[in-house]
Amino acid sequence: MNKIVFSQQVYTYQIDYVGHMSNIVYIEWMEIGRTKLLEYIGLPLNKLEELGIAPVLVNTEITYKKPLYIYDEAKIEIWVSKLNNASAIMSFNFYNSKGELASVGTQKGLFVHRETMKPYRLKPEERAAFEKAYIEE
């Protein structure tokens, strides 16, 4: 029931040809956000590995509303917006230094058995862990 919130600085090497932050940086920040979400709910990547589970991305969507620029301190929010038996959709909001919404995004992740790469159905206790970051949309 909580959004995970963190900040990222825009650095010079992330600036593209037209002077704003490259769109690919959002993908990197989504990766950081997913890692933070898994840590927050008590299922960090090393624990998933021990359980023989791997999260695999199957879809990423981003809608750009305002550019981010050098020296922006972006605020990023992530939460689980849909939770199924073997998959989850994570939603993201990205804000610029002025607090304006710069972009929104979603990613769909599928849980798989590490050895077979076949879908893994979450156990009740694993599903309950995800509820900590679930906000129904």
Residue 60: the pLDDT is 98
For the beta sheet containing 73-83, the strands, ordered from the edge strand earlier in sequence to the opposite edge, are 4-9, 73-83, 87-95, 101-113, 53-64
Residue 1: the pLDDT is 72
pLDDT along the chain (137 residues), means of 10: 95 97 98 98 96 97 98 98 97 98 99 97 95 90
**What is each CA distance from 96 to 5, 29, 31, 74, 118, in whole angstroms?**
13, 14, 19, 5, 39
Write phi, then psi, for 73 (nearest 5 degrees). -105, 100
The domain ranges of the chain are 4-133
Residue 20 and residue 70: Cα distance in Å, rounded?
7
Write phi, then psi, for 128 (nearest 5 degrees). -60, -35
Determine contact, residues 103/96, Cβ cutoff 8 Å.
no
Residue 43 CB partners (closer than 8 Å, separation 6+): 126, 129, 130
Write phi, then psi, for 15 (nearest 5 degrees). -85, 135
Residue 86: the pLDDT is 97
Residue 121 and residue 55: Cα distance in Å, rounded?
12
Residue 21, both tokens: 């932050």
Tell me how far the alpha carbon of residue 114 is from its chain's centroid: 20
Q: Which architecture, in CATH terms, is 4-133?
A: Roll (3.10)
